[in-house]
Amino acid sequence: MMDGMGHLSSGGLVWAIPCVPLISFVVIMLFGGRILQVLGDAAGRRVIGALATLAVLVPFALSAALVRDLLALPAEARRAIVPLLPFAKTLPWIDAGPIHAQFAALIDPLSALMCLIVTGVGGLIHLYATGYMAHDRDYARFFAYFNLFIVAMLFLVLGESILMMFVGWEGVGLCSYLLISFWYDDTDNAKAGNKAFIVNRIGDVGFVLGILTIVSLFGTVSFHTADGRGFLDLAARKETLHGALGIGSAALIAGLLFIGACGKSAQFPLHIWLPDAMAGPTPVSALIHAATMVTAGVVMLTRMSVIFVQAPAVLLIVALVGLFTAIFAATIALTQTDIKKVLAYSTVSQLGFMFLGCGAGAFAAGMFHVMTHAFFKALLFLGAGSVIHGMAGQQNMRLMGGLRKHMPITFATMVAAWAAICGFPGLSGYWSKDLILGYGAGIHSYGMVIYAVGTFTAFLTGLYMTRLMVMTFGAKERFNTHEVHVHESPPSMWIPLALLAVLSIIGGLIGTPWGHQLQHFLEPVLPTAALHVAHEGVPVGVGLGIGAIVAIAAMAAGLVFYPAEAAKGEAIEPARNPILVGAERLWYVDSAANAIGIRFGGKVATVLWQWVDQGNIDRLVNIVAFVVGLLSEIVRGLQTGYVRIYVTTMLAGVAVLAVWALIGGGVR
């Protein structure tokens, strides 16, 4: 089935967007070791790195062509369903009962934008990883997993049905596990991978139940169809197979899907896996846990926005959970000393802002922050990786300081990311964050409270990011220069930093309040005015003015306050303020999760194992086995091996049958 295919000049190459990195994954996984043997270690690594990077940059070029084609079309024509295999017009994937799904891609502004982000930022991170992982013993395996992640993420954003989205959803979860625990011989890494996998499964239960509810109500898993019978088409008309789509049904679907989004996008209380995921290599943190996978929940909410806006109570919960997650994680980031942990909690906080935007009904604003966050947070993680690389593996900011003179390029690029995430006027984070806060202020009677809390969280963002910059690059050196030879990273690492710095500076201009180009581009994916209209509770000019003041004040406060803390190095006293102590201990959420999920859950599992498994199930199985064994012994006694006994038995049987026949005949 094709819908609008003829309008896309690049539509015939859509299949190559996920297939090129898939081919690269297969080649590297099967022949990576052979390449290293034949070409030698150094040349083989260069070939593998180049192959893996090009396998992402080629889809980036195709994605850019796709966006160009969509921009040339009127808004109502910006949708096409195209096959994901070359030379195939249609390819049924699942045909079972009410479920009819194709192996096809849904091309629209949302999927095209995400393809551009995934392959663009992903390609830069692949290039960076060729330098960062240059001496790792499992170089080929790393890039095979890296390419596989890109494939899974592309299936997630391109799938024409929610089932295909779920395949990609689970695929990125698998790749996250493989890459977090990449250095599996380290127990902490292995545990972090397990934790990420298990916590995500909790959210996925909600997603699966949501899919089943969609099938039962709409009788299809396809988002859109040519005849307008996709479940999003029906939901837009407030229809189901059984009549009108009521608020209760919409709320049930939205609530279940929101649980899934909380798991993948690390919203409270399912956020606990993301900080631990920093155990993996830094390029993994940048790609999966900052720029792409963790935004999957926001992408799913935007894709399903037609249903969410018909469940206002769930939409309010989305906003409040996002707001709470944002300030909760920001307070923790203020107390961390591991440079990657600061950025991890910062990511959780920024994801909270994205959910706040979606909960306010401003899905385009949430996606705008997905894009700008991909630029500056990927840059921050890669910059942190450059620092760790230059510091010979050191991640404790208390043992850094004064690095700006040793790593000038890394410092300059991280300044751009620091200013962008703080919301410095004119930079990318300034436009997207303040747009979200403006729409948050328009939420019912809670609006101004939400705006005040969100603005305070933005101030905390500037504060903890300034602390990171001061402790890392400012103040005095707090390391022994004779033991640590600090050096700038190679070009393969700083070139991606420079490009991301440019995007962090100018990337927000696409969504300024005077142009709204991104919002106009995404309009075909968003709910119509008949279903929902998001309101800005604070005038644009006022919001931008407040945002600028807050950002500059936070950065200035950090520059005044934190040099003294940074100068203390390891001698700094532990926080005595109860609030800071609580934040330093992660507000005890991880402790509670361990107490409930591991210790209490372990005891429950032990009881169930002893009393249910061993005490009943095993006993029942053993009884059955005993009875079968006893009967076997009896029957085996009849098997003597003497022919005369067998003949006698047969004759006796014949005699019994004859007597039975005579008696039966007499009765009749």
Is residue 319's pLDDT more than 90?
Answer: yes
Q: Which alpha helices (DSSP H) does 401-488 contain, by range?
A: 408-422, 428-440, 447-473
Averaged over 177-201, what is the pLDDT? Answer: 89
Helix (H, G, I), strand (E, B) or coil at 227: coil
What is the average per-residue pLDDT within 637-644?
75
Other Cβ atoms less than 10 A from the Cβ of 388: the count is: 17
Query: Is 293 within a domain?
Result: yes
Q: 402-450, pLDDT tens digit by residue?
A: 888 889 999 999 999 999 999 999 999 999 999 999 999 888 778 899 9
pLDDT of residue 650 exceeding 90, the answer is no
- Domain final position from 310, 337, 352: 310
Same domain, 177 and 231: yes
Q: ∠ at Cα 566 (562, 572), nearest 5°?
A: 110
Please state, as a whole number, how many other Cβ atoms lie within 10 Å of the Cβ of residue 643.
Answer: 8
Show which of 507, 535, 569 is a domain's final residue: 569
Vertex 154 angle, CA 228 and 220, to 5°: 30
Q: What is the dihedral of CA 331, 356, 255, 524, to 10 degrees?
A: -150
> Residues 515-572: pLDDT tens digits?
678 888 999 999 988 888 888 888 888 989 999 999 999 999 999 888 876 666 554 4
Average pLDDT, integer, range 41-63: 93
297 in the same domain as 378: no
Predicted confidence (pLDDT) per residue in 618-633, tens digit: 888 888 888 988 888 8
For residue 509, tell me if it sits in a domain: yes
CA dihedral 652, 654, 658, 661 (to 10 degrees): 120
In a domain, 45, yes or no: yes
The answer to whether residue 579 is domain-embedded is: no
pLDDT of 580 higher than 80? no
The pTM of this model reads 0.88
The pLDDT assigned to 575 comes to 52
Segment 159-173 mean pLDDT:
93
Same domain, 7 and 49: yes
Least confident of 154-158, 228-232, 521-525, 529-533: 529-533
Q: Residue 468: pLDDT above 50?
A: yes
Phi, psi (degrees; rounded to nearest 5) at 245: -85, 105
Taking the C-alpha atoms of residue 319 and residue 366, their distance in angstroms, rounded to an integer, is: 11
In a domain, 584, yes or no: no
The whole-number pLDDT of residue 463 equals 93
550 and 617 inside one domain: no
* Residue 8: pLDDT over 80: no
User: Does residue 657 sit in the same domain as residue 527?
Assistant: no
**211 and 266 inside one domain:** yes
- Highest-scoring range by mean pLDDT, 96-105, 157-166, 388-397, 593-602: 157-166
The pLDDT of residue 600: 76
Q: Are residues 324 and 303 in the same domain?
A: no
Answer whether residue 582 is part of any domain.
Answer: no
Query: Which of 256-260, 264-268, 349-353, 394-398 shows the lowest mean pLDDT across its residues?
Result: 394-398
What would the mean pLDDT of 486-502 be, rounded to a whole number? 90
- Structural tokens at position 179: 């890459």
Domain count for the chain:
3
pLDDT given for residue 21 in this prediction: 95
Kindly state whether residues 331 and 269 are assigned to the same domain: no
Query: Is residue 667 scored above 60 in pLDDT?
Result: no
Q: Are residues 257 and 340 in the same domain?
A: no
Q: What is the mean pLDDT of the chain?
A: 87
Dump pLDDT digits (tens) for 361-385. 999 999 999 999 999 999 999 999 9
**Would the pLDDT of 2 be above 50?**
no
Residue 620 lies in a domain: yes
Question: In 133-186, which ranges are continuous DSSP H helix?
Answer: 139-158, 162-180
- 467 confidence band (pLDDT: 50, 70, 90): very high
- Kindly state whether residue 578 falls inside one of the protein's structural domains: no
On whether both 74 and 115 belong to a single domain, the answer is yes
Within 10 angstroms of residue 465's Cβ, the number of other Cβ atoms is: 26
472 and 332 both lie in a single domain: yes
What domain range is 547 assigned to? 320-569
- Token pair belonging to 620: 């029942």
Same domain for 514 and 557?
Answer: yes
Residues 6+ apart with CB under 8 A from 172: 149, 152, 153, 156, 264, 288, 292, 293, 296
Amino acid at 159: G
The type of residue at 397 is: M
Residue 335: both structure tokens together: 């107390």
Domain endpoint, select from 310, 342, 363: 310
**Percent of the chain, pLDDT > 70?**
94
**Is residue 665's pLDDT more than 60?**
no
